[in-house]
Chains A and B, each alone.
Chain A
Amino acid sequence: MKKLAVAASLAALLAACSTAPTTPAPVQPAATPAAASDIAPASQPTAVTADPFKGFDKLDSNPALAKRSVYFDFDKYDVKDEYTELLANHAKFLKATGEAKVLVQGNTDERGSREYNLALGQKRAEAVSNNLKLGGAPEAQVEAVSLGKEKPKAQGHDEAAWAENRRADLVYSQK
């Protein structure tokens, strides 16, 4: 319990210090235990003034980062307009949070060639990662890979399942 409290206050401290606009690359101990950020309550009093996109803990605390899937039309890999804001938010987060790394996993529905779907999934992942980079996400923090139709999230064989599987996911890890 005591540990928790320490972690929380530490997180609060960090969040507070990162608000100072003049602080260049604050002396953040980047190695703050990952666990600490996990338990940091979303409603820190300091969060009001903190950059809501800076710090790995914002993945959990900032609702603007909650959605991490982009859906596609059949045999298409262009990112639809409705995902502009979603991806802009994640780009902002990646730009602000140097220790965040995102793996963009492209998926397809079960119909058609496995290899062509693998390529299609890659194009979807590329389209999403290009979008992130255009939004300011540093190249080194973004990697696009494809799972093709090999790892379907929805197991069904109908339009609903296919639509769910025509998808690119943002999978985060901390450097």
Chain B
Amino acid sequence: MMKFRHLLTVIVTLGLACLAGVSQAQLTVEISGAGSSRYPIGEPSFAGEALMKGSVTEVIRKDLDMSGMFRQIDGGNLLAVEGQAPDYNGWRGRGANAVLIGGITQGQGDLVDVRFHLYDVAAGTELFGYKKSVRPDQSRVLGHYIANLVYEKLLGMPGLFATNIAYVEKNGSQFRLMMSDFDGENAVPMLISREPIMSLTWSPDGQSIAYVSFDKKKPIIYIRRLANSFHTVLANYKGSNSAPVWSPDGHRLAIVLTRDGLSQIYLINSDGSGLRRLTSSSGIDTEPVFTPDGSQIYFTSDRGGSPQIYRMSVNGGGAQRVTFSGAYNVTPRLSADGKTLVYISRNDGRFQLTMMDLATQQTQVLTDSAKDESPSFAPDGRTILYATEVGGRGVLSVVSTDGRTRYRLNNRAGDVREPAWRPFEK
């Protein structure tokens, strides 16, 4: 059963754009990664593309390129006719393992019919074939959809091409909470403020976003529901209210308050009730994050004299130190399987995205930049979006845990920071 969940999102975001009534500066993409063992696939071709606004194949090609997982092979003068088996020998000769061939024809009413097939060149078989009827202006949605099917079929992992990201854009003295497609397209503001916005975090169902705003001259935590654009105050206690993160079941959040003096971690129900203090240290405890099973919390603390990452039970009690090398390890984030920890470590004055295999405790610096911040795992559990700085300006970068995916989202108009990759919608 094929469903265009992404379509809904686009409609919602377009609606938001109309409401906001402002012109957009899109993020541009710079792909820098190139894995050594990329999957060789024939360049997709779709006959009849002129029937749609925008090129479907262009969207698919860019998606596959951005993933860093594919090498696209020019088909030259090999015939590609939708509905006919491809020239397997010809593709084999060019080194392709698979090829995607499609065709677009006029459908009923205003719709166009899009048929596409993925072939296993080595085995000489068809892997899948689909027909979709869409509006001519849906080439982007359709392209992402097809790219996801190809990605998942050939690599056995879910693709990210229909996901969204949220981030904060700073333009002069204006701060905007933005939401866009995974590649920075269709960026629309969800919130505009003269005061800083930070620490975006999605609910596990992808339907709400919690964030910290300085709107009232001090940090307060808000939750915004996408469906109705309502925002409600989650926590506005004396002092600072910050670092929200959702529990895996979505029922509560871990937050950081200074109401009792120091920054300490608290649990609070998503409706703002049931506040309970979790940590009691004499230093800073902040940046909590739940393990995927919800039983533990990783967090940053300077209880040992320098900021390091610790973990403790969600029921409180003692904490174990997790990072030991270096004097500054902060902002823990966990992969969906709970096996990989990423965080920011300071190495010779450079703040870099670092990964730890929790089973072996082996660590690896994933970037060569100097001002990395705020990592956010994509829902595939292997791709990480983070903020960094290039040429004195904030940009968003993407790297995968195996280093194969690597690209950057750049906004020439201002600083972008505080990214949060939206979970797969449930």
B-binding residues in A (CB < 8 A): 75, 111-116, 118-120, 122-123, 126, 143-148, 150-151, 157
Contacts and interface: CB of A to CB of B under 8 A. Distances in A.
A143 B300 CA distance: 25
A123 B302 CA distance: 11
Nearest to B300: A116
Contacts of A150: 196, 198, 214
Interface in B220-271: 238-240, 242-243, 256, 258, 261-263
A114 B199 contact: yes
A87 B417 CA distance: 36
Contacts of A114: 198-199, 373-374, 417-418
Interface of B: 196, 198-199, 214, 217-219, 238-240, 242-243, 256, 258, 261-263, 284, 286-287, 300, 306-307, 328, 330-331, 344, 346, 351, 371, 373-374, 392, 417-418
A157 B392 contact: yes
B346 A122 contact: no
Contacts of A115: 198-199, 242-243, 256, 286-287, 300, 330-331
Nearest to B175: A150
A112 B219 contact: no
Contacts of A157: 392
Nearest to A144: B239
Contacts of A75: 306-307, 328
A111 B286 contact: no
Given A111-B371, A115-B199, A116-B331, A146 B262 contact: no
Contacts of A126: 258, 261-262
A18 B240 CA distance: 38
B307 A145 contact: no
Nearest to B374: A114
B343 to A, nearest CB: 9
A112 B328 CA distance: 9
B327 to A, nearest CB: 8
A80 B242 CA distance: 28
Nearest to B218: A145
A150 B214 CA distance: 9
Nearest to A118: B242
B258 A122 contact: yes
Given A112-B344, A146-B240, A119 B286 contact: yes
A116 B350 CA distance: 16
A73 B307 CA distance: 15
Contacts of A120: 284
Contacts of B256: 115, 119
A87 B256 CA distance: 28
Contacts of B300: 113, 115-116
A146 B284 contact: no
A106 to B, nearest CB: 9
Given A144-B239, A145-B218, A150-B214, A118 B392 contact: no
